Chains A and B, each alone.
Chain A
Amino acid sequence: MTVLETLLMASVLSAVPLMLAAAGEAIGQRSGLLNLGVEGVMLAGALAGFVAVESSGSFVLGCGAGLLAGGVIGLLFGVAATRLAASQIVLGLGVALAGQGGTGFLFRERYGLNQPLLSSGMSRPFDHLDGVPVVGPMLFGQKWFVYVAWVAVLLMGLILRTSRVGLVLKATGDSPFAADAAGVSVTTVRILAAVVGQALAGLGGAALAIVEVGFFSPGMTVGIGFIAIAIAMLGRQDPLRIAALALAFGVLRGLGAALQLTSIDIRSEFLEMIPYVGVIMLVVVMGRRARLPASLGLAYHRGARGE
């Protein structure tokens, strides 16, 4: 495989955890919930997924464990943010910190000072086609989960754009009073959005641990959860835009590693800046049209309008 083929293939793979987490966050944001704790949710999903695969050998179970871990945190977050009307900012930061500390503690409790590694057992269903030059490995050399994740996010985008589910979600985020008047239970929708959204973030964490790197280590998300929040906002809570942005971020990050191997004499610090400068440029270009749901981060109190 050439450097370019490796770069493209790795970019598609590395976009998956970011894309799933950002798409999950987008669902919550559409409903009016802002969860700053995606980093912690991803870590919880990563640990749950890793433990499940390490003990059972099943990647499907690992994905399920990641979904479950994220979903449970989403349920707690959703209930606290809606029924208890707790501050979403404080809750989110708490989830982030608890996720970082809690997963480190649990990992140490289970594995002590060992660092188990998973074998590369996940199959590649189309690898007989990856001989196609340049784009072959990127399109056909991926593990099965990568295809599932991309298809799931694209389908989710279509559903949110075209179905009543998407409309209801948007209404609860943009105008919860109108949604309530139309017979929609804002609290229920938001709790469900939190569960589904954070389950996806948990799945993103599991993907990082069991699909991308093949092990768990405390703090291994190294900021991906926070980047996911920014990408969800930049992508205007649209999974299709989010998928494109996650891929662009992955390509730009891989570009830094590839450029170091060329004869171009640039210090590594500048190359490391490439994806972030790229995101800033996207903010400048796309930020003008970016809009957030009107009630994002605000608790909904029935009958409180105008008070």
Chain B
Amino acid sequence: MNLLLILPIAIPLTAATIGLLFRKSPMVQRASGVIGMAALLVSVIYLSWQTYTDGIQVIQLGDWAAPFGITLVMDLLSAAMLIITAIMGLVVSIYSLYDIDRVKEQYHYYPLLHILLIGINGSFLTGDLFNLYVWFEVMLISSFILLALGNRKTQLQGAVKYVIINLVSSLVFLFGVAMVYGMTGTLNMADLAVKIAEVENTGLVTAVSMIFIVSFGIKAAIFPLFFWLPASYHTPPVAVSAIFGGLLTKVGVYALIRVFTLIFTHDIGYTHTILLWVSGFTMVCGVLGAAAQMEFRKVLSFHIVSQIGYMIMGLAFNTKLGIMGAIFYIIHNILAKSNLFLISGIAQRLTGTFELKQLGGLYRQYPWLAVLFLISAFALAGFPPLSGFWAKLSLVKAGLQIEQYVITGVAILVGLLTLFSMVKIWAYAFWMPMEEENKSEQFGKMKLMGAGGLNLLVTPVIILAAIIIIVGLFAEPFLSFCMLAAEQLLNPEIYIESVLGES
């Protein structure tokens, strides 16, 4: 029992409550926003360290022994996800200090951000299938409002698509939970793992597993269920785009990894082959979607879809290297993708637009922004020695190791198209000279850093870029961590034993 395991839920809950109580005070809003995130980061680092040194951490809430109450579990996968979430929370809340206007601030922006994180953290921590559903609901409602906050027409259009499709996902998820409960009489995931193996009608179990592929697949934005994502992510304030683009889909991927390594492992030949096909289509559709876009954030949004494909591919390989690659890919992708969203926001501040054809001249005028973009964009495209290279390398190695040549080939080609989109942004926004008539007032006058600069926007970008470089240059500890996490996942008995105790 580790009581502190509730911190990743309790800290944002507290911060959100404080924010709500002092609605009128911008100072409190901002402070509770940033300090809450910082506290969260500290707590998850501490908890992760415990998990790393002492093994999987568990808390049985209400002291009701598993499988009767709800269990929170932290294994290395959860640890990795929690840390990256807290990092994103912190940098995005700093970014928000400048990016989010007073009105949104007053209408609960920071509390909502924290509530979103409650949902995300809860999803990563919970060891209970129904409880996961609850966290999904928390995530959904808070993200819906963050999307709509501001009430612009495009925002509402995007938000409606977002919420309706995600409600379909929730509904199906709930049906899946009911089916699982009907078959096994339990909701505790560790217990489920044991009991589902005893269900005689394995065909039915496989059919139920498809429910989860679809439901989590919608959340993860896989092919052909991804529509809500490109429809909505380019509409809200940049800070919101960044945290959504980084984190939300990854919760879906996390859920897929969790249930398809722990619970549904009885018919891998079928389920994981489907996942493999899905991953291929997801990669290709997403990257082609991006190639067709000419708006900064839309390009990035479609790329999220494409890169989800890589993560699913790693899961579908179902080997240590594959799953390790998937986890590393998730982490790397959150860093690079969110950073690109943040950069798009800075570019927009400087030039007044997200449209690539109207952007321009940033390389000449703002070389440091160009450097930051290059780092993030080429990391995303998998160039060495940045974080993305190791992600790509892991997955390509994993694919070649088990002789999955076709999908590996697809992944490699998609990598090239990713590069294509990234340099497209580069060529338009940074290299192309800016038309005189498009030049906004602040272009060239506003500084990136220093007095009269965009310090609060740039600092988070620098932090993330630094992490990308560090992860790239000193990849070993990060890769080893993911490797250990993958080992845990492929040996579910460790998880089961930690939750249910020796049996």
To the question of whether A and B form a pair in one complex, the answer is: no
Chain A residues close to B by CB (< 8 Å): none
What residues make up the interface of B, taking CB atoms closer than 8 Å to A?
none
